[in-house]
Protein backbone atom coordinates (compact mmCIF):
# COMPACT_ATOMS: atom_id res chain seq x y z
CA UNK A 1 0.00 0.00 0.00
CA UNK A 2 1.48 3.28 -1.12
CA UNK A 3 -0.41 6.55 -0.68
CA UNK A 4 -0.66 8.33 -4.06
CA UNK A 5 0.72 11.88 -4.35
CA UNK A 6 -1.68 14.85 -4.46
CA UNK A 7 -1.31 15.07 -8.25
CA UNK A 8 -1.94 11.32 -8.69
CA UNK A 9 -4.94 11.30 -6.38
CA UNK A 10 -6.43 14.27 -8.18
CA UNK A 11 -6.21 12.37 -11.49
CA UNK A 12 -7.93 9.34 -9.92
CA UNK A 13 -10.65 11.58 -8.47
CA UNK A 14 -11.27 13.19 -11.86
CA UNK A 15 -11.45 9.87 -13.72
CA UNK A 16 -13.49 8.07 -11.06
CA UNK A 17 -16.09 10.78 -10.39
CA UNK A 18 -18.63 9.52 -12.88
CA UNK A 19 -18.05 5.84 -12.08
CA UNK A 20 -20.15 3.54 -9.90
CA UNK A 21 -18.96 3.25 -6.31
CA UNK A 22 -17.44 -0.24 -6.72
CA UNK A 23 -15.29 1.05 -9.59
CA UNK A 24 -14.28 4.10 -7.55
CA UNK A 25 -13.09 1.79 -4.78
CA UNK A 26 -11.01 -0.25 -7.24
CA UNK A 27 -9.54 2.82 -8.91
CA UNK A 28 -8.40 4.13 -5.51
CA UNK A 29 -6.89 0.78 -4.61
CA UNK A 30 -5.17 0.49 -7.99
CA UNK A 31 -3.56 3.93 -7.48
CA UNK A 32 -2.31 2.82 -4.07
CA UNK A 33 -1.18 -0.67 -5.12
CA UNK A 34 1.48 -0.39 -7.82
CA UNK A 35 2.18 -3.85 -9.16
CA UNK A 36 -1.24 -5.29 -8.35
CA UNK A 37 -3.39 -6.09 -11.38
CA UNK A 38 -6.91 -4.74 -11.69
CA UNK A 39 -8.20 -8.30 -11.86
CA UNK A 40 -6.48 -9.30 -8.60
CA UNK A 41 -7.90 -6.25 -6.83
CA UNK A 42 -11.38 -6.95 -8.21
CA UNK A 43 -11.18 -10.50 -6.89
CA UNK A 44 -10.35 -9.46 -3.32
CA UNK A 45 -13.24 -10.28 -1.03
CA UNK A 46 -15.26 -7.21 -0.05
CA UNK A 47 -13.80 -7.31 3.47
CA UNK A 48 -10.21 -7.56 2.23
CA UNK A 49 -10.88 -4.68 -0.16
CA UNK A 50 -12.35 -2.58 2.65
CA UNK A 51 -9.44 -3.40 4.92
CA UNK A 52 -7.02 -2.04 2.30
CA UNK A 53 -9.16 1.04 1.77
CA UNK A 54 -9.05 1.69 5.51
CA UNK A 55 -5.23 1.52 5.43
CA UNK A 56 -5.20 3.88 2.44
CA UNK A 57 -7.58 6.22 4.22
CA UNK A 58 -5.30 6.34 7.23
CA UNK A 59 -2.26 7.08 5.03
CA UNK A 60 -4.13 9.92 3.33
CA UNK A 61 -6.07 11.54 6.16
CA UNK A 62 -4.83 10.05 9.45
CA UNK A 63 -6.24 7.61 11.97
CA UNK A 64 -9.20 9.69 13.14
CA UNK A 65 -12.49 9.50 11.24
CA UNK A 66 -15.11 12.19 11.71
CA UNK A 67 -18.61 12.10 10.35
CA UNK A 68 -22.18 13.16 10.90
CA UNK A 69 -25.27 11.02 11.31
CA UNK A 70 -28.70 11.46 12.80
CA UNK A 71 -30.46 9.54 15.56
CA UNK A 72 -33.01 7.17 13.99
CA UNK A 73 -35.43 7.84 16.86
CA UNK A 74 -35.34 11.60 17.50
CA UNK A 75 -33.50 12.77 14.34
CA UNK A 76 -30.96 14.72 16.40
CA UNK A 77 -27.71 15.21 14.45
CA UNK A 78 -24.69 13.52 16.01
CA UNK A 79 -21.02 13.88 15.35
CA UNK A 80 -19.18 10.57 15.09
CA UNK A 81 -15.50 10.44 15.96
CA UNK A 82 -13.79 7.07 15.72
CA UNK A 83 -10.29 5.71 15.24
CA UNK A 84 -9.29 3.42 12.37
CA UNK A 85 -8.40 0.78 14.92
CA UNK A 86 -12.01 0.84 16.24
CA UNK A 87 -13.30 -0.42 12.91
CA UNK A 88 -10.41 -2.59 11.86
CA UNK A 89 -11.60 -6.12 12.52
CA UNK A 90 -9.02 -8.83 12.93
CA UNK A 91 -10.81 -11.59 11.14
CA UNK A 92 -9.93 -15.00 9.91
CA UNK A 93 -6.75 -14.26 7.94
CA UNK A 94 -6.52 -17.68 6.30
CA UNK A 95 -7.02 -17.49 2.57
CA UNK A 96 -9.63 -20.16 2.28
CA UNK A 97 -10.85 -20.20 -1.28
CA UNK A 98 -14.06 -22.05 -0.55
CA UNK A 99 -16.39 -22.14 2.43
CA UNK A 100 -19.12 -24.61 3.13
CA UNK A 101 -22.19 -24.97 5.32
CA UNK A 102 -24.65 -27.71 6.05
CA UNK A 103 -28.30 -26.83 6.63
CA UNK A 104 -30.95 -29.54 6.80
CA UNK A 105 -30.52 -31.80 3.80
CA UNK A 106 -28.31 -29.30 2.00
CA UNK A 107 -24.56 -28.89 1.81
CA UNK A 108 -23.44 -25.73 0.03
CA UNK A 109 -19.92 -24.79 -1.05
CA UNK A 110 -19.33 -21.17 -1.96
CA UNK A 111 -16.78 -18.37 -2.13
CA UNK A 112 -16.85 -14.87 -0.64
CA UNK A 113 -18.36 -12.02 -2.68
CA UNK A 114 -15.87 -9.65 -4.33
CA UNK A 115 -15.96 -6.38 -6.29
CA UNK A 116 -16.68 -8.19 -9.56
CA UNK A 117 -19.80 -9.65 -7.98
CA UNK A 118 -20.89 -6.28 -6.61
CA UNK A 119 -20.45 -4.68 -10.04
CA UNK A 120 -22.29 -7.50 -11.78
CA UNK A 121 -25.32 -7.40 -9.51
CA UNK A 122 -25.57 -3.61 -9.15
CA UNK A 123 -29.01 -2.59 -10.28
CA UNK A 124 -29.83 0.48 -12.31
CA UNK A 125 -31.41 2.04 -9.27
CA UNK A 126 -29.23 1.35 -6.25
CA UNK A 127 -31.05 3.74 -3.99
CA UNK A 128 -33.64 1.19 -3.02
CA UNK A 129 -32.09 -2.21 -3.56
CA UNK A 130 -34.31 -5.20 -2.92
CA UNK A 131 -32.30 -7.05 -0.27
CA UNK A 132 -33.72 -10.50 -0.97
CA UNK A 133 -33.13 -10.14 -4.71
CA UNK A 134 -29.59 -8.86 -4.07
CA UNK A 135 -28.79 -11.88 -1.90
CA UNK A 136 -30.21 -14.25 -4.54
CA UNK A 137 -28.10 -12.62 -7.26
CA UNK A 138 -24.97 -12.78 -5.08
CA UNK A 139 -25.64 -16.41 -4.23
CA UNK A 140 -26.08 -17.33 -7.86
CA UNK A 141 -22.55 -16.01 -8.48
CA UNK A 142 -20.81 -17.27 -5.33
CA UNK A 143 -22.36 -20.71 -4.98
CA UNK A 144 -19.94 -23.30 -6.33
CA UNK A 145 -21.60 -26.57 -5.41
CA UNK A 146 -24.94 -27.50 -3.92
CA UNK A 147 -25.94 -30.96 -2.72
CA UNK A 148 -29.25 -32.12 -1.36
CA UNK A 149 -29.21 -35.48 0.41
CA UNK A 150 -25.81 -35.98 -1.16
CA UNK A 151 -27.03 -35.40 -4.72
CA UNK A 152 -25.67 -32.54 -6.75
CA UNK A 153 -28.23 -29.84 -7.51
CA UNK A 154 -28.39 -27.44 -10.41
CA UNK A 155 -26.92 -24.09 -9.36
CA UNK A 156 -29.32 -22.00 -11.40
CA UNK A 157 -32.09 -22.98 -9.01
CA UNK A 158 -31.00 -20.59 -6.24
CA UNK A 159 -34.55 -19.16 -6.32
CA UNK A 160 -35.86 -22.15 -4.45
CA UNK A 161 -33.24 -22.33 -1.71
CA UNK A 162 -34.66 -22.64 1.79
CA UNK A 163 -34.33 -19.43 3.85
CA UNK A 164 -32.43 -21.32 6.60
CA UNK A 165 -29.75 -22.32 4.09
CA UNK A 166 -29.47 -18.75 2.75
CA UNK A 167 -29.14 -17.49 6.33
CA UNK A 168 -26.48 -20.06 7.12
CA UNK A 169 -24.48 -19.06 4.03
CA UNK A 170 -24.79 -15.36 4.86
CA UNK A 171 -23.67 -15.99 8.46
CA UNK A 172 -20.66 -17.99 7.30
CA UNK A 173 -19.71 -15.29 4.78
CA UNK A 174 -19.88 -12.67 7.49
CA UNK A 175 -17.77 -14.74 9.86
CA UNK A 176 -15.11 -15.35 7.21
CA UNK A 177 -15.01 -11.75 5.99
CA UNK A 178 -15.97 -9.56 8.96
CA UNK A 179 -14.47 -6.37 7.57
CA UNK A 180 -17.18 -6.41 4.90
CA UNK A 181 -19.81 -5.58 7.49
CA UNK A 182 -18.62 -2.97 9.98
CA UNK A 183 -21.13 -1.78 12.57
CA UNK A 184 -20.42 1.16 14.87
CA UNK A 185 -22.22 1.33 18.23
CA UNK A 186 -23.78 4.77 18.65
CA UNK A 187 -25.83 6.44 21.34
CA UNK A 188 -27.87 9.61 21.34
CA UNK A 189 -27.33 11.95 24.29
CA UNK A 190 -30.71 13.59 23.64
CA UNK A 191 -33.06 10.61 23.82
CA UNK A 192 -30.83 7.83 25.16
CA UNK A 193 -31.30 5.68 22.05
CA UNK A 194 -28.53 3.14 21.34
CA UNK A 195 -28.10 1.48 17.98
CA UNK A 196 -25.63 -0.03 15.53
CA UNK A 197 -24.85 1.92 12.41
CA UNK A 198 -23.34 0.34 9.32
CA UNK A 199 -20.04 1.94 8.31
CA UNK A 200 -19.20 1.92 4.61
CA UNK A 201 -15.54 2.82 4.05
CA UNK A 202 -16.07 3.23 0.28
CA UNK A 203 -18.64 6.02 0.48
CA UNK A 204 -16.92 7.56 3.51
CA UNK A 205 -13.50 7.72 1.85
CA UNK A 206 -14.90 8.82 -1.48
CA UNK A 207 -16.74 11.79 0.03
CA UNK A 208 -13.56 12.78 1.90
CA UNK A 209 -11.55 12.62 -1.33
CA UNK A 210 -14.23 14.59 -3.17
CA UNK A 211 -14.06 17.37 -0.53
CA UNK A 212 -10.27 17.26 -0.50
CA UNK A 213 -10.05 17.55 -4.30
CA UNK A 214 -12.40 20.52 -4.48
CA UNK A 215 -10.51 22.27 -1.67
CA UNK A 216 -7.19 21.54 -3.37
CA UNK A 217 -8.41 22.98 -6.68
CA UNK A 218 -9.51 26.16 -4.89
CA UNK A 219 -6.01 26.39 -3.38
CA UNK A 220 -4.42 25.90 -6.80
CA UNK A 221 -6.67 28.61 -8.20
CA UNK A 222 -5.75 31.06 -5.41
CA UNK A 223 -2.00 30.40 -5.65
CA UNK A 224 -1.91 30.41 -9.46
CA UNK A 225 -3.83 33.70 -9.51
CA UNK A 226 -1.53 35.29 -6.91
CA UNK A 227 1.85 34.02 -8.05
CA UNK A 228 1.38 32.78 -11.62
CA UNK A 229 2.66 29.29 -10.74
CA UNK A 230 1.60 26.27 -12.79
CA UNK A 231 -0.86 23.69 -11.49
CA UNK A 232 1.80 20.96 -11.52
CA UNK A 233 4.24 23.10 -9.50
CA UNK A 234 1.56 23.89 -6.91
CA UNK A 235 0.49 20.23 -6.64
CA UNK A 236 4.10 19.15 -6.20
CA UNK A 237 4.35 21.26 -3.02
CA UNK A 238 3.64 19.77 0.38
CA UNK A 239 0.24 20.62 1.89
CA UNK A 240 2.06 22.62 4.59
CA UNK A 241 3.91 24.75 2.08
CA UNK A 242 0.69 25.46 0.16
CA UNK A 243 -0.94 26.54 3.43
CA UNK A 244 1.96 28.89 4.23
CA UNK A 245 1.70 30.58 0.83
CA UNK A 246 -2.05 30.83 1.20
CA UNK A 247 -1.56 32.52 4.58
CA UNK A 248 0.74 35.04 2.92
CA UNK A 249 -2.00 36.04 0.51
CA UNK A 250 -4.60 35.93 3.31
CA UNK A 251 -6.44 32.98 1.80
CA UNK A 252 -5.65 30.12 4.17
CA UNK A 253 -8.38 27.64 5.09
Interacting residues toward Zn ion by CB under 5 A: 71, 73-74, 76, 188, 190-191, 193
Smallest distance, Å, CB 74 to Zn ion? Answer: 3
Smallest distance, Å, CB 186 to Zn ion? Answer: 10
Q: Which of 98, 86, 87, 85 is nearest to 176 (CA)?
A: 98
Nearer to Zn ion, 190 or 200 (CB): 190
Nearer to Zn ion, 78 or 107 (CB): 78
Nearer to Zn ion, 126 or 190 (CB): 190
Backbone angles phi, psi at 109, to 5 degrees: -115, 135
Please give the Cα distance from 230 to 224 (Å, whole number): 6
Nearer to Zn ion, 162 or 185 (CB): 185
Smallest distance, Å, CB 43 to Zn ion? Answer: 41
Quote the strand ranges of the chain, DSSP E. Answer: 64-70, 77-83, 99-103, 106-110, 143-148, 151-152, 182-187, 194-199
CA 157 to chain centre: 30
Smallest distance, Å, CB 70 to Zn ion? Answer: 8
Amino acid sequence: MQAPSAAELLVVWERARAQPMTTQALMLLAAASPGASWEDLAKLSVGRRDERLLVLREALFGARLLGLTSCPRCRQQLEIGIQSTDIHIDGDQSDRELLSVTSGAYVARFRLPNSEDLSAIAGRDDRQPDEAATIRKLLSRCLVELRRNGRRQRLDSSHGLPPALIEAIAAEMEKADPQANVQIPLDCADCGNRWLSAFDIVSFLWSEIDNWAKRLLREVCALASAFGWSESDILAMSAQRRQLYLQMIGDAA
